[in-house]
Structure 1
Amino acid sequence: MKKQLIRTFVLFALFLPGVSFADGEHQVFELGNFQLESGEILPSAFLSYVTHGSLNEEKDNLVLVPSAYLGDHHGFDFLIEEDKALSPDRYFIVATDMFQNGYSSSPSNTPRPFNGPNFPTIEIRDNVTAQYRLLTEIFGVSEAAAIVGFSMGAQQAFQWAVSHPNFIRKTVGICGSAIEHPHGSVRLEGFKSAIMTDAGYMGGTYIEPPTIGLEAGGTHWAAWGTSQEWFRLGLYRDMGLDSPEGFIEFFQTFVKSWDANNLIALAATWQRNDIGKTDGFNGDSEAALASIKSDVLYMACETDQYFHIEALKWEAERIPGAKFVVMPSLWGHMAGGGRSADDAKFINDQVTDFLDANN
């Protein structure tokens, strides 16, 4: 079983954000002493990213691709190919890492006094602020062709559309929301608790990884990542696994590859996501949705257990002119990352048509 699991992990990693073997080397943008929305200063902050393609002379072909939870700057590599939606021959793609994912400033790589559980509170808007500085200060652009995000990447995409309404021409949000609705927050609290109740977690001051808690967290993701029908029909066999237990062990191994404090901090950022908290909206999420000016492709998966389709439809109806598309997949939330060939093709076709429209 162990040999089979290792083989499956290597093969499936080609399609899972955060474990890609793409060739791109990540770069680092030094942010200096970075003021967060909370008012705290994160000293010597930095933003990790990779680029694909070239910025054209007009500087109007940039596409921003922010990372997802349990992912990194390689999460959309399946779309970044010559004949795909985000062709480097056509676009200049900038794929960024969120704070707290281990590449950009995170609990795991920040020195005292902000290391580990002492890392300051990060909001989705803090990520957007850092990305805005990257695009304007390093690449000198005043607008971007598009932003494409999955899961927490979609959260960043919608926040961009609110925070900088005249900067992004087209916004694509896949299996993610502009607001974290109550059930999603409760689910994430369960995941955090699975790690934090491990005695080895020690309030985040652990010396060795809290393995028991991380394995419990992996079990959580195994239960929620796909769908009930996915399990009933045995679609885990498409990953080279023989049983649901093999899928659990796969996710346990994957989650154990992450730092516990990074996971908890990222989950807390996810829980607080709400575009209504943007300056000027006083908590009015509907008004923030209505303020979006960019063209929007809002894509949901019909079996997503993280981002319920009715909540996403409710949001899309409040964005002027938004195109709402439902992905017909049994792969649940994982469909949004192109987990199966059918899902990858569906996403590629939808994003291609959307980016090509009115251009």
Structure 2
Amino acid sequence: MPDYEIYSLGDFVLQRGATLRDAKLAYKTFGKLNAKKDNVIVFPTWYSGQHVDNEWLIGKGMTLDPAKYFIIIPNMFGNGLSSSPSNTPEPYNKSRFPQVTAYDNVRAQHQLVTEKFGVKKLKLVVGWSMGALQTFHWGAMYPDMVERIAPFCGSAKCSRHNFVFLEGVKAALTADSAWNNGWYDDKPEKGLRAMARVYAGWGFSQAFYRQELDLKALGHSSLEDFLVSFWEGFFLPKDANNLLTMLWTWQNGDISDNELYKGDFKKALKAVKAKAFVMPSRTDLYFPPEDSEFEVANMPNAKFLPFESVWGHFAGGPGTSPNDVKFLDGKLKELLAS
């Protein structure tokens, strides 16, 4: 039995013009919605992750305690549970699955929150990586609804450098002849393994590798063991078309790319009314702290609170670095108490 529920969005018109017919949004909830419906936290998923991959930040004794809050984890389009290339019937199956933006994801989540649960205010939206991208979108798209946001190790707009990194990931995956332009019967295993090794040089920092934390902290027996067991093992179970759908969403992430802000990035940032704790990792190679400093400088009610960590992007998740988890949990507690 699945540990999540499905919300039917109906025929969902996407920002780029296609329609996902009978679109599905998979989600999981923790805790109970109170009578005032004012204890709601939304915690979107990240690139390739599913709701279970967010559960490390939820629990008794944590700030995101189901005894206090009603926590909704909506799964991104393309992650294999919500509407995705791997589960959508013809004709929009496999490589014909349409382009989906972060704007589309958050519109779908808003429909779930307002129509399914009748919620009008969100106490907090929080997310890591692409979850942070969606968190920023919540703040910009629904400024009167969202009271607080905590995007960590992510950005409000995909930078040019980040876009180029993702081109390398995409090229490694699609170079496998088994890829067959997305019409594969057997998974492009060589491409997935190559993609994993490209990712391995970026997910953790130079200092992480210099200090051999792959061995000392994560328990691998050698660098090669880490590359195969951790990284190749991470990507091999995932569907290639799903990964490419979410990669396109990431590359085209931009809170101002919509009719609300018409490409004016500073205007979109200034529109975020929520109290914001923006938490980059000091050593993140995807989302450097300079990008977060620019975002915070243009948001009316934001603080810049970096992880002082050598864990790179993985300072933010998924629960890999215990000291960084403590820092994050403490800042979320501070934000929710404010």
Q: TM-score, normalised by structure 1?
A: 0.92
Q: What is the match of residue 271 of structure 2?
A: 291
- Alpha-carbon displacement from aligned partner over 1:206-235 (angstroms, at most 9, x marks no partner): 110001100000101111111111111110
Q: What is the match of residue 7 of structure 1?
A: none
1:321 Cα deviation from its structure 2 partner: 2.0
CA RMSD of aligned residues (A): 1.1
In structure 2, distance between residues paired with 1:152 and 1:216? 22
In structure 2, distance between residues paired with 1:164 and 1:118? 31
Q: What is the match of residue 151 of structure 1?
A: 129
| Cα pair 1:24 1:50 within 8 Å, conserved | no
In structure 1, distance between residues paired with 2:289 and 2:101? 24
Alignment of 1:1-359 (within 5 A): 25-237=3-215, 238-249=217-228, 250-337=230-317, 338-357=319-338
1:122 Cα deviation from its structure 2 partner: 0.1
| Cα pair 1:276 1:285 within 8 Å, conserved | yes
| Cα pair 1:67 1:97 within 8 Å, conserved | yes
**2:245 partner SS:** helix
**1:352 partner SS:** helix
Give ranges in structure 1 of 5+ residues lacking alignment.
1-22
Q: Number of matched residues?
A: 335
In structure 2, distance between residues paired with 1:156 and 1:140? 21
| Cα pair 2:31 2:70 within 8 Å, conserved | yes
Q: Which amino acid aligns with 1:88?
A: P
| Cα pair 1:106 1:119 within 8 Å, conserved | yes
Identity value in percent: 40
1:317 Cα deviation from its structure 2 partner: 1.0
| Cα pair 1:78 1:344 within 8 Å, conserved | no
1:240 Cα deviation from its structure 2 partner: 1.3
1:309 Cα deviation from its structure 2 partner: 1.2
Structure 1 runs (4+) deviating above 4 angstroms are none
| Cα pair 1:234 1:243 within 8 Å, conserved | no
- Alpha-carbon displacement from aligned partner over 1:183-226 (angstroms, at most 9, x marks no partner): 00000010011011111100000110001100000101111111
Give ranges in structure 2 of 5+ residues lacking alignment.
none
In structure 1, distance between residues paired with 2:331 and 2:85? 36
| Cα pair 1:62 1:144 within 8 Å, conserved | yes
- Alpha-carbon displacement from aligned partner over 1:37-75 (angstroms, at most 9, x marks no partner): 112111111000100000000000010000011211123
| Cα pair 2:273 2:301 within 8 Å, conserved | no
In structure 1, distance between residues paired with 2:19 and 2:285? 36
Q: Which amino acid aligns with 2:295?
A: E
| Cα pair 2:274 2:301 within 8 Å, conserved | no
Give the stretch that moved more between structures: 240-249 or 42-51.
240-249
1:24 Cα deviation from its structure 2 partner: 8.3
In structure 2, distance between residues paired with 1:41 and 1:319? 33
**2:79 partner SS:** coil
1:278 Cα deviation from its structure 2 partner: 2.4
| Cα pair 2:76 2:82 within 8 Å, conserved | yes
* CA separation of 1:24 and 1:57: change in aligned 2, threshold 3 A: farther
**1:346 partner SS:** helix
